[in-house]
Structure 1
Amino acid sequence: MAVNLPKTMRGQFLQAYKKPYDLLSVPIPKPLQPNDLLIRVDAASYCHTDFVLAEGQMPGFPREFPHAGSHEFAGTIVSYSESPSSKASAFRVGDRVGVPGRAFHACETCFECRGSKDPVSRDDEGYSVYCANAENNGLSRDGGFQEYAVVDARQLAPIPEALTAVEVAPLMCAGITIYAALKRCQLESGDRVGIMGCGGGLGHLGLQYAVKMGLKVLGVDAADAPLELAKSLNTGATVVDARSEKAADVVQSLGAEDGKKDLGEMGLDAVIILPESQQAFDYAMTLLKTHGKCVVVSFPEKGFHISARDVVFRDISIIGSLVGSNKMLREMLNFSAEHHIRAVTRSFPLSELNELVEEYHKGGGGKLVIDMSIDR
């Protein structure tokens, strides 16, 4: 099936650090490599990393200006390269797909591509989301804040029929990131997990995933709007305001609920760190049981201070988590469709991306999404 395409498209582009996006008309990119597919972007979500990049806090990114951000988007396939690979040919024109940032044009030959041993990020041999030589949509190369984009067939996930593009876009980074972080906790049904920043873009999805995984969930936040959003989900998770409830008191409460008297076995089996705050990190470490796991997702510019006493005397494991594999991406989408897990979103037209960014800085929680259908 052929799709007639215009010669140019609109896109929102950064032309310098610390500047607003500019709405420009540019040529539509072409799929040139065997794994390339051209998609019409239907929705593109805004992530905290988009802000970090725009502020110049990610050295080396973007590779050049002007630059279209968004590494979490969804769209519809409109064309292939002249010699499509078997991976590309597995998709059809008209298929709806979700597109994460990682990994565009993985090299197929590095250590990761030849077969990582990590169960969360491992894909079929020849492709890895951790490929050090790959490009990243929305970071090193243009992403979803444009009407069309070239993507790598190996990074895509088919969209389940139950999900819309606006629902899928936030799952391509926020969704897979928190889903993978929960998997890295290596918990069993009935175990306790804490989510720091539970009312944010990742956090409110994490509450939903964790509950549906059969875990006992504690959400923690320290701002009115995110706390209100987290509570409004009615997941059954316990939501705590860190401003008014001390971590030590929460541990005692959980211990009483579990019938535990030994301080070492009171609290959480694992906690996921989403905020960039040292206070949030310290609060989370206090919540953990002895032998607990601390999964770090955020990456503040100055890092976190880690107590050696927690690591040595309490045997706390500190683990980093970025994203999951393409296999896990597909698993996450199907899990989301099956359990009706959705991000709380607000939609904006492409022409109002700068207004979206202004709303992001108000800290209302949830996810902000460009819906291309609004002014297409």
Structure 2
Amino acid sequence: MTTAQLPASMKAWVIEEFNTPYRLQELPLPTIDDPNDILIRVEACSYCHTDAIVAAGTITPPKLPFIGCHEFAGKVVALPAGQESCHGYKLGDRVAVSGRGNHVCGKCRECTNSTETLPDPPGYSVYCSLSGIGLGCDRPGGFREYAIVDARQVGQIPEGLSPVDVAPLMCAGLTMYAALVKCDLRPGARVGIMGCGGGLGHLGLQFATKMGFKTTGVDVSPRALQLSRELDTGADIVDATNVTAADARKKMGSEDGWSLPSEMGLDAVLILPDTQKAFDYGVELVRDGGRVVVLSFPLEGYRISSRDLVLRRVRFEGSLIGSNRAMNDMFDFCLKHHVRAKITKYPFAKLNGLVDDYNSGQPGKLVIDMELDG
């Protein structure tokens, strides 16, 4: 390997048993075994709902012990042997790491002919089924001091954004940005975000309003609703505990000249909570012929009404994350429109405290800043 000055070992937070706190361990420094891989010193790592699912072992549980975190950022400190760069990245470059697209096959239908919005060039797809679920989900992630990452799945951190800024964008931000682009709406269209005060939702509010959409955010948590209103996006924020979907929908469209019940409502709604109640509320907000984009995946799935599907012609589709092309577009958008996550920072030593705060309903994004003293 071509390396900077590196230690022989590192600290890492490890899941030893599901539904138990992480344990801090001293582990050997990982080595580069693939010519597409680089070693980074992790500078920031963000906590996501998927991390909670992985730690609980409720969906495609990884083999234990396991290192989680699928949205992080850091500095390149080692390259494959004999290389001065790897896919354009050099020692010292700061890179952002998304949780998908690790060691793609390059040959499957998805890699060679992706149907994803803003697809990468043929030969690479973050949706390659042979690449597994991704870093922090079925292979070691970012809750450690050093991490091996596939240089093809990362993005250069641009001037104006820090590792702490970009870490929460690597799943939450990229997922929301790509889902909104997928809706293929013109400025002035009406968009709703169910779960607007969470990690994904509050970024979605910013993206949607700054894309020129008339945006409605919906939540039930008082802390999440407060955060949504503090963002100063101009979005209409609805407390779903006090306002029914039918009442909210009646107000959507009248100023545009629509009057029939079938004309009223949102052009598109993004579903972030994983409950049937939130799903039904969001579907009811959509106008006839509108679009519902689902970003959550409860184990029991969702029930879809045939009336909504056939008579109202509501279009349903899912969205998981965005491509590397979408990542770079998102960085440009964030810089131009000053989109940032509302972040609460923690030192590396306080990961379990971060998890406790997440489980108590702390809104926004919770991020480990490796520069903070613990």
TM-score of the pair, normalised by structure 1: 0.96
Superimposed CA distance per residue, residues 231-288 of structure 1 (whole angstroms, 9 cap, x where no aligned partner)? 0000011101001111111111123332311111111000000001211111111111
**Correspondence 1:112-127 to 2 at 5 A:** 112-120=110-118, 122-127=119-124
Asked whether 1:74 is paired with 2:53, we answer no
**Correspondence 1:224-235 to 2 at 5 A:** 224-235=222-233
Superimposed CA distance per residue, residues 120-149 of structure 1 (whole angstroms, 9 cap, x where no aligned partner)? 4x2111111011111411011111100000
Could you tell me how far apart the structure 2 residues matched to 1:262 and 1:16 are?
55
1:50 matched residue in structure 2 = 51
In the alignment, structure 2 segments of 5+ residues that lack a partner are: none
1:177 matched residue in structure 2 = 175
Amino acid in structure 2 at the alignment position of 1:232: E
Superimposed CA distance per residue, residues 188-222 of structure 1 (whole angstroms, 9 cap, x where no aligned partner)? 11100000000000000000001111111000001
Could you tell me how far apart the structure 1 residues matched to 2:373 and 2:98 are?
24
2:130 matched residue in structure 1 = 133
Could you tell me how far apart the structure 2 residues matched to 1:2 and 1:53 are?
32
Could you tell me how far apart the structure 2 residues matched to 1:239 and 1:54 are?
32
1:258 matched residue in structure 2 = 256
8 Å CA contact retained: 1:221, 1:227: yes
Would the alpha carbon gap of residues 7 and 183 (structure 1) be closer, same or farther in structure 2, given more than 3 Å must change?
same
**Correspondence 1:1-376 to 2 at 5 A:** 2-59=3-60, 61-62=61-62, 64-84=63-83, 88-120=86-118, 122-135=119-132, 136-375=134-373
1:89 to partner: Cα distance: 4.4
Could you tell me how far apart the structure 2 residues matched to 1:20 and 1:327 are?
36
Could you tell me how far apart the structure 1 residues matched to 2:55 and 2:117 are?
32
1:2 to partner: Cα distance: 4.9
1:83 to partner: Cα distance: 4.8
Could you tell me how far apart the structure 2 residues matched to 1:112 and 1:84 are?
29
1:305 to partner: Cα distance: 1.2
> SS at 1:141's partner residue?
coil
Superimposed CA distance per residue, residues 43-70 of structure 1 (whole angstroms, 9 cap, x where no aligned partner)? 00001011111111112x31x2221110
Amino acid in structure 2 at the alignment position of 1:66: P
8 Å CA contact retained: 2:3, 2:79: no
Amino acid in structure 1 at the alignment position of 2:122: E
Could you tell me how far apart the structure 1 residues matched to 2:190 and 2:84 are?
44
Give the root-mean-square deviation of aligned CA atoms: 1.4
1:370 to partner: Cα distance: 0.8
Could you tell me how far apart the structure 1 residues matched to 2:261 and 2:348 are?
52
> SS at 1:177's partner residue?
helix
Amino acid in structure 2 at the alignment position of 1:123: D
8 Å CA contact retained: 1:35, 1:85: no
Amino acid in structure 2 at the alignment position of 1:79: A
Stretch deviating more after TM superposition (122-131 or 203-212): 122-131
Amino acid in structure 1 at the alignment position of 2:131: A
After superposing on structure 2, the runs of 4+ consecutive aligned residues of structure 1 that deviate more than 3 Å are: 83-86
Could you tell me how far apart the structure 1 residues matched to 2:87 and 2:252 are?
52
Would the alpha carbon gap of residues 2 and 52 (structure 1) be closer, same or farther in structure 2, given more than 3 Å must change?
closer
Could you tell me how far apart the structure 1 residues matched to 2:304 and 2:80 are?
49
1:85 to partner: Cα distance: 9.6
> SS at 1:30's partner residue?
coil
1:11 to partner: Cα distance: 0.6
Amino acid in structure 1 at the alignment position of 2:34: Q
Count of equivalent residues: 372
Would the alpha carbon gap of residues 95 and 307 (structure 1) be closer, same or farther in structure 2, given more than 3 Å must change?
same
8 Å CA contact retained: 1:36, 1:84: no
Could you tell me how far apart the structure 2 residues matched to 1:251 and 1:285 are?
11
Could you tell me how far apart the structure 1 residues matched to 2:194 and 2:56 are?
24
Could you tell me how far apart the structure 2 residues matched to 1:159 and 1:337 are?
11
Could you tell me how far apart the structure 2 residues matched to 1:247 and 1:18 are?
35
8 Å CA contact retained: 1:34, 1:83: no
8 Å CA contact retained: 2:96, 2:166: yes
8 Å CA contact retained: 1:12, 1:24: yes
8 Å CA contact retained: 1:34, 1:85: no
TM-score of the pair, normalised by structure 2: 0.97
Could you tell me how far apart the structure 2 residues matched to 1:375 and 1:39 are?
20
Could you tell me how far apart the structure 1 residues matched to 2:113 and 2:327 are?
17
Could you tell me how far apart the structure 1 residues matched to 2:289 and 2:68 are?
40
8 Å CA contact retained: 1:35, 1:84: no
Could you tell me how far apart the structure 1 residues matched to 2:229 and 2:7 are?
46
